[in-house]
Structure 1
């Protein structure tokens, strides 16, 4: 039984602190109602998505320089333009009512840039569908796209409250979505699998405790051990997503024909569960600072875990898709039109703007930035998406 050390981070404004305290009290009530402890995955779900209080459900600025982190689309349009280059050929292989289905959507920057590039390529989807659980983010996306897209492009946009309920064709796209799925945390004690729970200490502070894992988590951890060919050592703590196959089936199961494309930070399984990574991959983001305390200011910070891309490959194939490829973000972007986008940057007359766009490309592609830390994985069903992964495919690492 232990608590996570508090870290030195900027103090929030009084109003923000009050908001965090309301969420802390709400989660505390959930813990007491559950008999004194909830799984860490449930804590993470509440901290991120509790209606009106969670990090993604409330009104705090999350993306960009004024938020807590910067995603690839927030840097500029090049990322989205390369995604358009990679996926536009798929629309030619599909029939009527072709969707581009974005999970999440962030600030709407990706949707704006990718729709404009699809239009320039003469290969527009019939609908641009966004699944956005946050009412606040949905409103911001709608305002941005209404203001910045031509009316004929905005008319293609549609927002859903949940996964499609009927069959559809097109492309499912998720950038930095998997890392925010509420994850189970496990711990090895005496050769047995335990699950990390969150309880309250006598002062009402969050405390992590362990309980024997249920059948689903136990089976998921034993599957990883079997695949690695070795048991986890005593005291090893990490994350696993036993619900990932069910999640993939929920969001993509009704995709009759098309492709799925995931971009996120993570590792193949053998790198995800390295011996030296004995406390897992959990990372929190608060005002552009990364740290490891998920109990710090709940509701004001992002909580994420790296992605096990081997598990993603297994889940996609289990859902009935063919595997398209797996590579670094740098190789995917370079293989899908980044050189042409860079040539456009060179033609910019404004020196300051040209420098800014060069920095955008560097952040997207350099190994020390997003280029290798972020990975890209694709799946296909009755289309050919293999060409998008022609450069630097690393499927062998899985």
Structure 2
């Protein structure tokens, strides 16, 4: 048994092969902590837990995406929830292609390939002219799943798809990243008695544990400090939060790469004045294991997702710093409604109860404030697009960033 695992009655134990993988990753992390002098920034721990070659959550062989725990998955994404998500998303992507005069698409972190297959079919149905669909994914295991999904669900268009290990230096076209930013490693910082500390990881009594160290002179932490005071009237004995350097750096890279076209990111999170509200004084870091959310990032390293909500003001600033235009920012519900999801749903005959009711229930989850509709946001950047898109025509919240 992994000595770092703290299994509860509600979290099933992994099988022997998965447990062996987790134990190998635990040994690797423990060795890196020792090599770093006994203390590792949490951001580095999270990077290893998610992306260590062959052992990390996204680079290993875990199922990850699915509808229920019984299929071995840990969480569900919008493309897995309903094909209507891709069918609707295709519309603003098609408009961005047309308005920018480009013909290539790129998806970063394509999961099982369901979004890619759905978009390919939707583009064909809409008559969208495009040359190629490029997927950038670090996981060889996921690449094979994506290839199989696309060949099974969009066989006539599979030849248009290619895979890359890294982003190119320049790209003309439309980029999509669905639930990518939240999986970027974050630093954990803690304000205690007026002083900021960075939260790191130590190996202690055969387990991983948090350990805080004073941090000073960090401009991003100073920005957070001011944002917390501005967003709240109360004082906090302790305030825990995250910094998003990796997500912001990724946004800069994508927007600098984009020579003409648009980049869309869909993820859960808040603009800065909401992100640092008192409701989130304990931070937003969370883990997903077998469709259960919990707060222990040290449980079964490599076998669970570790994630944090996105601070979208920082993401917006990172993109605009490259010279890209902020195309729009709004809730997922407003974006999908503007893009015509109800029209897509109406294409299904309500008399066909077996098809219509599951589709309607899925759309409700995509749009509901109590589900994904409000927590998830869509932010987009562009170059060479003169006007806004229909999907941002009403309810744009760029002014809140």
Same fold (TM over 0.5): yes
Residues 4, 293 of structure 1: 8 Å contact kept? no
TM-score (norm 2): 0.92
Residues 191, 197 of structure 2: 8 Å contact kept? yes
Q: Does 1:220 align with 2:224?
A: no
**Aligned-pair Cα RMSD in Å:** 2.0
For 1:7 and 1:34, locate their aligned partners in 2 and report how far apart those are by CA, in whole Å.
31
Q: Does 1:211 align with 2:213?
A: yes
Residue from 107, 114, 128 that aligns with 1:109 = 114
**Cα distance, 1:348 vs structure 2:** 5.9
Residues 36, 200 of structure 1: 8 Å contact kept? yes
Q: Report the counterpart of residue 98 of structure 2 in structure 1.
A: 92
Cα distance change, pair 6–293 in 1 and its aligned pair in 2 (3 A): farther
Q: Which runs of 5 or more residues in structure 1 are unaligned?
A: none
Q: What is the 5 A alignment of 1:227-266?
A: 227=227, 230=230, 233-266=236-269
**Cα distance, 1:353 vs structure 2:** 2.1
Q: Report the counterpart of residue 332 of structure 2 in structure 1.
A: 329
Residue from 273, 279, 283 that aligns with 1:276 = 279
For 1:312 and 1:103, locate their aligned partners in 2 and report how far apart those are by CA, in whole Å.
16
Deviation track 1:30-85 (CA, whole Å, cap 9, x = no partner) reads: 11111111100000010001111101111111111221000000012111111111
Query: Greater CA deviation, 175-184 or 348-357?
Result: 348-357
Q: What is the 5 A alignment of 1:112-123?
A: 112-123=117-128
**Cα distance, 1:148 vs structure 2:** 2.2
Deviation track 1:101-154 (CA, whole Å, cap 9, x = no partner) reads: 111000000000011111111113211111101110011111221232233x11
**Cα distance, 1:240 vs structure 2:** 1.1
**Cα distance, 1:237 vs structure 2:** 1.0
Q: Which runs of 5 or more residues in structure 2 are unaligned?
A: none
Q: Report the counterpart of residue 18 of structure 1 in structure 2.
A: 20
TM-score (norm 1): 0.93
Q: Report the counterpart of residue 124 of structure 1 in structure 2.
A: 129
**DSSP 3-state at the match of 2:238:** coil
Q: Report the counterpart of residue 342 of structure 1 in structure 2.
A: 345
Deviation track 1:191-249 (CA, whole Å, cap 9, x = no partner) reads: 33211110011x2200100123375xx21111233355549844211101134432222
Residues 164, 251 of structure 1: 8 Å contact kept? no
Q: Report the counterpart of residue 154 of structure 1 in structure 2.
A: 158
**DSSP 3-state at the match of 1:253:** helix
Q: How many residue pairs end up in the alignment?
A: 389
**DSSP 3-state at the match of 1:236:** strand
For 1:286 and 1:280, locate their aligned partners in 2 and report how far apart those are by CA, in whole Å.
19
Q: Report the counterpart of residue 77 of structure 1 in structure 2.
A: 83
Cα distance change, pair 114–125 in 1 and its aligned pair in 2 (3 A): same
Residues 228, 277 of structure 2: 8 Å contact kept? no
Query: Greater CA deviation, 153-162 or 347-356?
Result: 347-356
**Cα distance, 1:4 vs structure 2:** 11
**Cα distance, 1:90 vs structure 2:** 2.1
For 1:276 and 1:147, locate their aligned partners in 2 and report how far apart those are by CA, in whole Å.
44
Residues 379, 385 of structure 1: 8 Å contact kept? no
Q: What is the 5 A alignment of 1:184-199?
A: 184-199=187-202
For 1:337 and 1:111, locate their aligned partners in 2 and report how far apart those are by CA, in whole Å.
19
For 2:270 and 2:7, locate their aligned partners in 1 and report how far apart those are by CA, in whole Å.
28
**Cα distance, 1:334 vs structure 2:** 0.6
**DSSP 3-state at the match of 2:23:** helix
For 2:216 and 2:50, locate their aligned partners in 1 and report how far apart those are by CA, in whole Å.
24
Cα distance change, pair 247–105 in 1 and its aligned pair in 2 (3 A): same
